[in-house]
Amino acid sequence: MSNKKNKYVFGALGFGFVLYLFILIITPKPIDWSLSFSKDDDIPYGSKILFDELKTLFDSSAIYTCHSPLYNFLSGDQFEKADLVIINSSFHPDKTDFDKITSHVKKGNNVFIAASEFSDLVLDSIGFDINTSFNIKNIYNDSITINLVNKTLKSPFGYTYKKAFQNIHFNYYDTLKTTVLGLGNKAKTNFIRVKYGQGNFFINLNPLAYTNFNLVSDINYEYAFKTLSYLPQNSKVIWDEYYKAKPRPSTSLLRYILSQKGLKYAWYILLFTIVTYLVISAKRNQRKIPVINPPRNTTLSFIETIGRLYFKRKNHLDIAQKRFKYFLEFLRTRYFIDTSETNEHLIQEISNKLDIPHKTIKKLFSQAERLRLNASYTEEDLEHFSKNIEYIYQKCKNK
């Protein structure tokens, strides 16, 4: 009777444990909003998309990843000529590392740093200061619009960001060796280039603009890649992982198993199975314990592959087609104009609502018709087409 009772107890415990694991497995994993900036993380504030798409700006065979102090990584001749990309919520290198970085820049290399907090060593050495009245970890839903200064790169309406963005700007920089490249709210400087020896420091105060959450935007992804386009295309690029906000985890086998959801529950089930087997095998009547396999983890990744970037390519026809596509989207969302059919009625409606001459709109749509019929599009064609669209944008903006 006692043995039978023990079987019921162990059976109930086993069923309860398996039920608990099953509930854990089917429960949706909460989104991780931690500030990672790592190339390996597809969470909202990781930088997997940015790193994967760097090959659209630079030669993929010339992109390297640094997991160690830069003093060690830059020693030797392999990276005598190479640019650094450092993206994190803060940048606090030790003196040995930063001396190596400044020496590297003086030789004619470039360092691109996107961060919102800097150590006194960095501030004093490069020669700038920023407002520090806010902490980037304060998440709120207010929006901030930023833009670039260069007329070729700037957006007509700027780039608007919401979650976690803060209006951080420079309080001081040496105007004799500094070029302003970007502005934030109230025309406050938030992106600069500082001449240092024969090279340059590019300092951007908006690290969140380079994360997955903001790169999935159809428009905002342009900002990140336009800022990085200041680095020479033909140079080696070193992507920093050493200074990331999230410490690099141990590479032990057990830690890897526990970091993977499916493997972790399988490990727990294995341990439970072994313990249960040892307990039951101690009895005179032994029985096999069925292996409980956890369901496969079919959860979709947070980030899906985004389209390739076009502004650094010479495919003028494709660029023009996309510009016209965004223009039609602008008409639909801002003026509620149905653009499904292109005809004289549509042209007249656009002219009336935007208060722009009929012939101007008709000329633009005639150029757009060439996009559908032509297999090629010259740089001059693209320039004329873009000027007509920019003219309409400017008219709308001034109203």
The predicted-structure confidence for 110-168, as pLDDT tens digits, reads as follows 999 999 999 999 999 999 999 865 545 444 546 788 999 999 999 998 998 876 577 78
* Assigned domain for 374 exists: yes
- The DSSP result for 248-259, as a single string, is PPP--HHHHHHH
326 in the same domain as 227? no
Instruction: Measure the CA–CA gap between 208 and 33, rounded to whole angstroms.
Output: 12
Residue 307 located in a structural domain: no
Residue ending a domain, among 225, 240, 255, is 240
On whether both 161 and 66 belong to a single domain, the answer is: yes
What's this model's pTM, rounded to 2 decimal places?
0.58
189 contacts 183 by C-beta, under 8 angstroms: yes
pLDDT at residue 23 in the model: 66
pLDDT at 293: 74
Residues 141 and 231 in one domain: yes
What residue ranges of the chain have pLDDT lower than 50?
1, 135, 137-139, 141, 248, 250, 299-308
- Spatial separation of the C-alpha atoms in residues 156 and 386, rounded to whole Å: 12
Report the C-alpha dihedral over residues 4, 8, 9, 11, rounded to 10 degrees.
130
Q: Could you tell me if 231 and 95 lie in one domain?
A: yes
Residue 329, domain member (yes or no): yes
Residue 239, classed as helix, strand or coil, is strand
Domain boundary among 223, 240, 257: 240
Indicate the residue among 240, 257, 283 that finishes a domain: 240
Q: Are the beta carbons of 262 and 195 closer than 8 angstroms? A: no
Note the pLDDT of residue 303: 34
3 within some domain: no
Per the domain annotation, does 295 fall within a domain? no
Per the domain annotation, does 132 fall within a domain? yes
Task: Convert the pLDDT of each residue in 47-96 to its tens digit.
Answer: 999 999 999 999 888 999 999 888 889 987 889 999 999 999 999 999 99
Residue 321 inside a domain? The answer is yes
Identity of the amino acid at 289: I
pLDDT at 285 (0 to 100): 54
CB atoms within 10 A of CB 57: 17
Question: Does residue 91 sit in the same domain as residue 218?
Answer: yes
269 neighbors 294 (Cβ within 8 angstroms): yes
Structural domain harbouring 163? 48-240
Q: Are residues 181 and 71 in the same domain?
A: yes
**DSSP of 112-136, one letter per residue?**
EEE-SEE-HHHHHHHTEEE--SS-T
Cα–Cα distance for residue pair 306/219, rounded to 1 Å? 12
What is the structure's pLDDT at 26? 66
Residues 317, 211: Cα–Cα separation, whole Å: 29
- The candidate with the shortest Cα–Cα distance to 172, out of 134, 120, 130, is 130
Pick from 171, 168, 202, 172: which is nearest to 185 by CA?
A: 168
Beta bridge partners of 189: 183
* Per-residue pLDDT at 161: 87
194 and 334 assigned to the same domain: no
Count of domains forming the chain: 2
CATH number of the domain that residue 65 is part of: 3.40.50
Same domain flag for 71 and 161: yes
How many C-beta neighbours within 10 Å does residue 93 have?
Answer: 20
| pLDDT in the model for residue 275 | 80
Looking at the fold, whether 163 and 54 belong to one and the same domain comes out as yes
Residue 179 lies in a domain: yes
How many residues are there in the chain? 399
Are 180 and 95 within one domain? yes
pLDDT value at position 353? 86
